[in-house]
Amino acid sequence: MTIRLLRWFNRLYHQNIQLRLTVYFLFILLPLVAVSLFSTFQSRDMLVEQTTDRTKAALTSSMDYIDLTLQNVEEISTLISTDNNLLRLLEQSGSELSPQAVVNFTELLKQLSGVTTINHMISQISIYHSLSNMIVSTTNGSRRISNTAQQDWLRQMARFSGNGIVYTLPDEPTPNGETFGKLMAADGISLVRSMDLYNTDRQPNLLSVTLSKSRLLDLFRSLLPSANAQIYLVTHDGKIITGSDNATEETLSGKMADDSMFTIEVNSKYYKWSLLLMQPRKEVYAKSEKMQLYTYVIIGISVLLALWISWAVYSGIASPVQKLMQGMKRAGSGNFNVRLENNRQDELGYLTQSFNQMILDQKQLIEYGYEQQLRLAVTELKFLQTQINPHFLYNTLDSIYWAAKNYDADEISEMVLNLSRFFRLSLNKGSDTFTVEETVAHLHYYVRVQQLRFLDKFAVSYDIQEESKPIPIMKLLLQPLVENAILHGLEQRDRGGELLVRTRLEDGFVFMTITDNGVGMKPDRLEYIRSELEQVFVADKPGILLPPMESAKDLYGLRNVASRIRMVYGKRSRMEIDSREGEGTTVTVRLPLDRCKETFQLSPERADTDNEKGAEGSV
């Protein structure tokens, strides 16, 4: 029976071209099917491996940021524990809660609250005063510890920590059946150390800096790949510091032992902490399972296509070739609107489609050439307009200047003259830099306009060191600072305003100082401005993406100038502000001299610009 069946198939195979084509296609498909299946399984393993590597890299980055945050908090705790003013307030407070002690604790609480506003990761700072057994907390005020066992435990912890640091969880047990979190009113992990670190005869006063669990969680919550995934920050002994759900140590151990969960762990380089990311395995393999399904579907479709193509090739070869030839003739005669109907999916169909696409591309290329010429003409027109606009500005100001001269309006003519010179130097034919001498000259035009505007309410003086005059600096660097001095300092004075612009070279730096005797700033406003500017200059890279923080709502001009200085002149550059309320403000810009010379590009139009400063009437 088998031999008879083979003979029948062999006879049919040699007599039927369609069957032979089908067999050929199936033989071609068999290796492809095998390779596709092998590639699918390999892809699944590679996908899981790549997912693991990417997740580990993201977890490592978050862990490094957590380490950096902890180091920052530790530095803050060191500053608090060695602050002479705080230590003096604690030393002046005795065992009794006297009125002076209440004042001292209030001042202590005020200074600690200022620290919590600077670092958004700190939720609470507490100090235990051993003489009075009082705990001063930024969130709960002051309260006395009356339990003797708890008093001894706190003193022992202060002595045990020495000059080091101890991290304590809120569920850490204390005497009398309470936890550390309840005793100190702390809801997160607390950094605990003794006060007065460098004094061997210190009192057993204790400092506790509590980190916000929610803000710690915000540092790595974004790494969750799905709603069913969970992430935890745990200690070396498996205690949960914070996590994306309310799991306990027991439930966490159960999840880690569950084979259905895919777990990735990254350890801290400096602390005995770890980040754990858990995700159901079915979610990790979901994409690979879809790939397997797609592979099976493609294999089935390929078999059906093999049968269909074999019939199509056998039944219709001549007609498509004839149509393709006629289309080529029509295209050769210059008719680029020809398009052949194509409902085939074989090689001839591909050739027909390629022919249609070639004709379409040829037509578009011809049209594109005309469009390019039109765009070029428009671009040239806009370029001419940009050349005309500055000259139109100068000529208009020149007309206003001479009209004011004719009517003896000296103040108007002087204002227009200074304004025109200010605009001419501002444009400066595309140059990005001025020398210090040019900067001061340009600045004087602006200051003179403001003096005329405010009816000479203030006077200006310049102290320009001769050696600093040829140093190149960024264009329009000092103008925003002078504008702030005039509008926010000198404008509010009736008379007697003074503005001083000073430059000097010292220790390889260019120092430029703007000083006014205006109304000055309040101390809290000055500290806020200093902290905002410091963030610009301490960043590792200007413009880097840091983790989410509170956006600043003002200081646009100062922040813009500081950012330009930081990006162009590097980390050694600085902009410092000093002010006293009712006395005035001083802004100092420090630029590295070598960077000033490196970033300077001599413009070929500078000589023309210098010549254009011209006579008084040339605007």
Summarised one tens digit per residue, pLDDT across range 473-491 is 988 788 889 988 988 888 8
Tell me how far CA of residue 224 lies from CA of 51, 62, 218, 228, 320, in angstroms: 13, 12, 11, 9, 55
Residue with tokens 């029948």: 8
What CATH number corresponds to the domain at position 95? Answer: 3.30.450
When pLDDT is averaged across residues 137-149 and rounded to a whole number, the result is 86
DSSP designation for 588: E
Q: How many domains, the chain?
A: 2
58 domain-assigned: no
What's the pLDDT at 392? 47
Q: Which pLDDT score is estimated for 255? A: 81
Q: How far apart are CA 255 and CA 495, in angstroms?
A: 75
Q: Are strands 497-506 and 458-464 parallel, antiparallel or unpaired?
A: parallel
Arithmetic mean of pLDDT, 328-333: 77
Of 532, 434, 544, 416, nearest in space to 479 by CA: 434
Any domain includes 63:
no
Q: Is residue 192 part of a domain?
A: yes
Residues 6+ apart with CB under 8 A from 161: 192, 193, 194, 206
Q: Which of 163, 181, 215 is the last residue of a domain?
A: 215
**Packing angle between helix 523-538 and helix 556-569, nearest 10 degrees?**
30
Q: Mean pLDDT throughout 52-75?
A: 88
3-state helix, strand, coil in the chain (%, to 5): 55, 15, 25
Diameter of the chain by CA atoms?
A: 125
Higher pLDDT, 13 or 356: 356
Range name among 113-122, 206-215, 417-426 with the lowest pLDDT average: 417-426
Query: Does the residue 517 lie in any domain?
Result: yes
Domain that holds residue 588: 433-542+553-601
pLDDT of residue 610: 37
Q: In terms of Cα–Cα distance, which of 356, 359, 351 is closest to 321? A: 351
Helix (H, G, I), strand (E, B) or coil at 178: coil
Within-domain flag for 1? no
Residue 303 lies in a domain: no
Strands (E), 109-247: 122-129, 134-137, 141-144, 166-168, 190-194, 206-211, 230-235, 240-243
Is the pLDDT confidence value at 502 over 70? yes
pLDDT value of residue 379: 44
Query: Is residue 344 scored above 80 in pLDDT?
Result: no
Where residue 450 sits, what CATH number does that domain have? 3.30.565.10
| CA gyration radius, the chain | 39
Instruction: Answer left, alpha or beta for residue 229, where phi above 0 means left and psi between -120 and 50 means alpha.
Output: beta
Band of residue 15 on the pLDDT scale cut at 50, 70, 90: low
Cα-Cα-Cα-Cα torsion 93, 99, 105, 109, nearest 10 degrees, comes to: -170
Predicted confidence at residue 351, as pLDDT, reads 80
Query: Does 613 score more than 60 pLDDT?
Result: no
What count of other Cβ atoms lies within 10 Å of the Cβ of residue 616?
11
pTM: 0.43
- Tokens 């210090």, residue located: 436
The pLDDT mean for the chain works out to 78
pLDDT score of 616? 35
Position 260 in a domain = no
Which of residues 215, 249, 283 is at a domain's end?
215
More confident residue, 178 or 541: 178
Candidates 447, 404, 400, 405; CA nearest to 422 is 447
Q: With respect to residue 293, please indicate whether it lies within any of the assigned structural domains.
A: no
**Residue 544: pLDDT above 50?**
no
Q: What span, in angstroms and rounded, lies between the C-alpha atoms of 62 and 219?
A: 7
DSSP secondary structure string for all residues of 473-517: EETTSSHHHHHHHIIIIITT-SS-EEEEEEEEEETTEEEEEEEE-
End position of a domain, from candidates 215, 242, 267: 215
Structure tokens at 547: 């983790």
